[in-house]
Amino acid sequence: MKKSLRKYAETWLLLVAATFLLAGCATQDNPASESAAESPQKSAIEFEPWDGDGMEIPLDGSSMDAWQRSMARVKAYSDPDAYISLEAALSYLRTYDLSARGSMDNLIEQLDGMTGYEVVSRVRWRKPAPGKGLPEKDAADAKIIDT
């Protein structure tokens, strides 16, 4: 009885392993074609020259496409830590700002024309837990400031 149970378990494990292997092969993306498809898109986005801090660039909330272009421009001219804090503030505001109602479209409409610093200043970060820096803050470390 133990021998047949063991054989059944081994067969079952081989079948599960083969299933996962085939599933992984079927869903595997071709990174070469993906990077080739992305490279023209990335190179097609050209930014106007900006002298200064990228967090001082006004964000365009007129449409989602304009928002994404202005965020890419801010990212290109900002310190990575400052940009991460901007993304964290946007995530927090989208979730907890009641006027946004969880919609990114509503949120970008409210933030239209604000700079990255103004967006981050809408969230008053509490003192981070020991060992956490500014970019590592999360929703538990913040609250909304209505102006």
The residue extents of the domains of the chain are: 52-144
Identify each DSSP E strand in the chain by its residue range.
Answer: 123-125, 142-144
Selection from 56, 28, 59, 68 nearest residue 117 by Cα: 56
Q: Is the pLDDT of residue 118 over 80?
A: yes
pLDDT at 22: 61
Supply the pLDDT for residue 7.
67
Q: Per residue in 66-93, pLDDT tens? A: 999 999 999 999 999 999 999 999 999 9
The four Cα atoms 104, 108, 111, 115 give a dihedral, to 10 degrees, of 110
Residues 22-34 have pLDDT tens digits of 666 555 554 444 4
Predicted confidence band of residue 101 (pLDDT cuts 50, 70, 90) = confident
Residue 97 pLDDT:
86
Taking CA atoms, 3 is separated from 8, 10, 13, 16, in Å, by 9, 11, 15, 20
Q: Does 140 have pLDDT greater than 70? A: no
For 19-73, write each residue's pLDDT tens digit: 665 666 555 554 444 444 443 344 456 777 777 888 999 999 999 999 999 999 9
Q: What is the pTM of this model?
A: 0.56
Question: Which of 41, 53, 59, 58 is CA-nearest to residue 107?
Answer: 59
User: 84-102 burial string, b = 16+ CB within 10 Å, else e?
Assistant: bbbebbbebbbeebeebee
pLDDT value at residue 12:
62
